[in-house]
């Protein structure tokens, strides 16, 4: 009897040891844990990655983390990035490719203090517009170029001022308008005590100067590896399932994000509000990049009237439908 028991235990141990482990894959986010990335956390929490036999590690970003460097350094298999910065990195030698585009619309806009007399683009001359740089400034420069406004503070033009990733310069009236996201910085202005009636917002989507945000990128080498292509296909399929669940269940998605915020910096109110706005940006996307949206982004970057992020259209070398075509079968 004892021998049988030992044999049974040994058999179970052997079976456990030889069971096939889920395929590991690491995602590097563009920024800190927040509802901007809810689809990935939802996919993990709801078991969508498990269903695809994937063990996904999600790495938060931050001000000192460059996703493309993490990707190229082997610290991640796929990253979230905005198309302008991804194209700039590619032109500078980084062999990265867009494999999916969960965000269909842009959340970028210009928020102005109404008291400064800025209510329409015609009111911009003589005012200071604050924006983030590192490629985020190019749509604004393109907009000013389309309007015929100089950006050096000369008469009849505007002054463009570099600001950090917060709304302090607007609140402290160091700038008359500042770039904000529909799902984040705009609400920081509201939470600081201003009301929508105190503000004028101009969405880049409405002005025809929007660029693609929050796409998924990997390396050319990964796309040459059939095993990695298979993992990425399963990852994209599960991630898009997570995004569509988050769209339909925004409050639950926000709660899942909060559960994964190890910093404790996020609040329930802000994350639920953010998720509601993010859902508007992912709506209409099945994960596949729309070539027309890609071309529009490139056109904006090439017509910015400032030091360009890119100097030429990289064309289809910068994106592929191979992963989404397989994922959506």
Above 60 in pLDDT, residue 190?
Answer: yes
Asked whether the beta carbons of 100 and 48 are under 8 A apart, the reply is no
Mean pLDDT computed over 183-212: 95
108-207: CATH topology? D-Maltodextrin-Binding Protein; domain 2 (3.40.190)
The residues near 212 (Cβ < 8 Å, ≥ 6 apart) are 82, 83, 101, 103, 106, 289, 293, 294, 297
Asked whether the beta carbons of 216 and 78 are under 8 A apart, the reply is yes
pLDDT at position 146: 85
Please give, one letter per residue, the 3-state secondary structure of the chain: CHHHHHHHHHHHHHHHHHCCCCEEEEEECCCCCCHHHHHHHHHHHCCHHHHCCEEEEEECCCCCCCHHHHHHCCCCCEEEECHHHHHHHHHCCCCEEEEECCCCCCCEEEEEEHHHCCCCHHHCCCCEEEECCCCCCHHHHHHHHHHCCCCECCCCCCEEEECCCCCHHHHCCCCCEEEEECCCHHHHHHHCCCCHHHEEEEEHHHHCCCCCCCEEEEEHHHHCCHHHHHHHHHHHHHHHHHHHHHHHCHHHHHHHHHHCCCCCCCCHHHHHHHHHHHHHHHCCCCCCCCHHHHHHHHHHHHCCCCCCCCCCCCHHHHECCHHHHHHCC
Percentage with pLDDT > 70 across the chain: 92
Give residue for tokens 């400032």. 306
Asked whether the beta carbons of 305 and 211 are under 8 A apart, the reply is no
Count of other CB atoms within 10 angstroms of residue 278: 31
Q: What is the pLDDT of residues 139-166, one digit of tens each?
A: 898 899 889 999 999 999 999 999 988 8
- Containing 237, the helix (H) or strand (E) segment is helix 226-248
Q: What is the pLDDT of residues 85-106, one digit of tens each?
A: 899 899 999 999 999 999 999 9
Query: Domain ranges in the chain?
Result: 22-104+212-327, 108-207
Higher pLDDT, 309 or 116: 116
Domain spanning 22-104+212-327: CATH superfamily: Periplasmic binding protein-like II (3.40.190.10)
Q: What is the pLDDT of residues 241-295, one digit of tens each?
A: 999 999 999 999 999 999 999 998 899 999 999 999 999 999 999 999 999 999 9
The residues near 317 (Cβ < 8 Å, ≥ 6 apart) are 97
DSSP code of residue 232: H
Q: What is the pLDDT of residues 39-85, one digit of tens each?
A: 999 999 999 999 999 999 999 999 889 999 999 999 999 999 999 98
């Amino acid at each position: 009897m004892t021998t049988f028991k030992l044999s049974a235990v040994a058999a179970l141990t052997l079976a456990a040891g030889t069971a096939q482990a889920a395929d590991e894959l690491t995602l590097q986010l563009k920024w800190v844990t927040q509802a901007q990335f809810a689809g990935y956390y939802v996919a993990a929490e709801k078991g969508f990655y498990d269903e695809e036999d994937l063990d996904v590690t999600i790495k938060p970003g931050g001000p000192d983390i460059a996703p493309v460097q993490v990707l190229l350094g082997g610290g991640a298999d796929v990253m979230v990035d905005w198309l302008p910065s991804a194209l700039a990195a590619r032109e500078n030698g980084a062999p990265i490719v867009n494999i999916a585009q969960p965000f269909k619309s842009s959340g970028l806009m210009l928020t102005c203090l109404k008291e400064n007399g800025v209510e329409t683009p015609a009111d911009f001359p003589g005012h200071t517009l604050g924006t983030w740089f590192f490629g985020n400034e190019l749509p604004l420069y393109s907009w000013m170029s389309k309007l015929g406004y100089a950006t050096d503070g000369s008469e009849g033009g505007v002054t463009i001022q570099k600001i950090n990733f917060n709304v302090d310069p607007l609140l402290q009236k160091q700038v008359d308008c500042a770039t904000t996201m529909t799902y984040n910085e705009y609400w920081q202005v509201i939470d600081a005590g201003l009301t929508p009636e105190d503000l004028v917002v101009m969405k880049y989507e409405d002005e025809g100067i929007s660029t693609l945000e929050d796409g998924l990128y990997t390396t050319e080498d990964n796309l040459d590896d059939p095993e990695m292509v298979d993992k990425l296909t399963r990852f994209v399929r599960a991630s898009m399932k997570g995004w569509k669940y988050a769209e339909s269940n925004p409050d639950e998605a926000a709660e899942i994000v909060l559960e994964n915020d190890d910093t404790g910096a996020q609040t329930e109110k802000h994350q639920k509000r953010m998720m509601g706005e993010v859902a508007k940006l992912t709506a209409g996307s099945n994960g596949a990049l729309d070539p027309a949206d890609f071309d529009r982004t490139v056109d904006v970057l090439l017509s910015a009237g400032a030091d360009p992020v890119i100097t030429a259209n990289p064309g289809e070398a910068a994106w592929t439908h191979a992963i989404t075509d397989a994922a959506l079968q």
